[in-house]
């Protein structure tokens, strides 16, 4: 059985992934700010550094998989959104890449199906992926008004998906795979507190696989995709963005793939 490291594995989608991997007999090391095997605030560079050092110390012979799942939603300040959704995932992936290389492992990151909607700011995506200077980006993020938090969220997840696509060839030459999942609205602790009005707004376009029902996808459905991509069964898949959104992206963009 394998050794997997997950970020944000305490609740929601991450908790389901961790549960499934453990049930399959794998060892799972959870990096989270609460309830983790190693407690770390991954929105801060020093938190990431400590977390990576802990993984290197615990698994010097390598790891089989890394699940970069930690992230925050559009209700958080843009500084937190950019630092945790983009910089934490990319830096943890690159930082732990040497351990993955030792065992020919793989990485799966959690993006979002919002990466294709109108709220994405291409200039912010370029800022994240092309400038890639966290200190400078966060200074700019401080000036983003609260009403544009959804734009910051979708842009951070779009940048993450772009990054995965960009680096996948170089990862492959090292014998590694890296992919992303793009979940739709999912029932998690983050969404359970939504008001009726917020729920109605989120389901303005019904989820095809939930048509006629006022409900989100289950965290287990997203976790199934993540666990598959992290397994040997997905050995031929690299640089893919797997939409797990009940068919929303296909509904809205039926002519694009």
* Residue numbers annotated as active site: 153
Element (H, E) at 153: helix 149-173
CB under 8 Å to 68, separation ≥6 — which residues? 7, 88, 89, 92, 93, 107, 108, 109, 110
- What sign has the CA pseudo-torsion 111, 242, 24, 220? positive
Strand ranges (DSSP E) for 8-53?
27-32, 38-39
CA separation for the pair 178, 192 (Å, rounded): 30
H or E element: which one contains 102?
helix 89-103
Q: Are 123 and 178 in contact (CB under 8 A)?
A: no
């Amino acid at each position: 059985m394998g050794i997997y490291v997950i970020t944000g594995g305490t609740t929601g989608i991450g908790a389901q992934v961790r549960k499934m991997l453990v049930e399959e007999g794998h060892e799972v090391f959870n990096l989270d700010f609460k309830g983790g095997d190693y407690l770390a605030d991954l929105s801060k560079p020093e938190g990431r550094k400590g977390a990576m050092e802990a993984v290197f110390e615990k698994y010097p012979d390598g790891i089989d998989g890394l699940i970069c799942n930690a992230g925050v939603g559009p209700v958080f300040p843009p500084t937190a959104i950019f630092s945790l959704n983009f910089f934490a995932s990319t830096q943890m992936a690159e930082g732990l890449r040497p351990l993955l290389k030792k065992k020919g492992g793989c990485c799966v990151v959690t993006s979002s199906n919002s990466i294709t909607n109108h709220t994405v700011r291409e200039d912010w995506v370029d800022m994240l992926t092309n400038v890639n200077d966290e200190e400078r980006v966060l200074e700019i993020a401080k000036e983003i008004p609260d009403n544009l938090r959804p734009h910051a969220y979708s842009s951070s997840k779009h940048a993450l998906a772009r990054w995965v696509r960009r680096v996948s060839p170089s990862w492959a030459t090292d014998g590694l795979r890296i992919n992303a999942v793009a979940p739709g609205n999912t029932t998690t602790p983050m969404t359970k507190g939504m008001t009726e009005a917020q729920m109605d707004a989120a389901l303005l376009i019904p989820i095809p696989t939930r048509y006629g029902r006022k409900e989100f996808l289950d965290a287990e459905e997203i976790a199934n995709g993540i666990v598959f991509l992290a397994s040997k069964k997905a050995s031929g898949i690299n640089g893919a963005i797997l939409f797990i959104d009940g068919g929303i992206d296909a509904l809205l963009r039926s002519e694009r793939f």
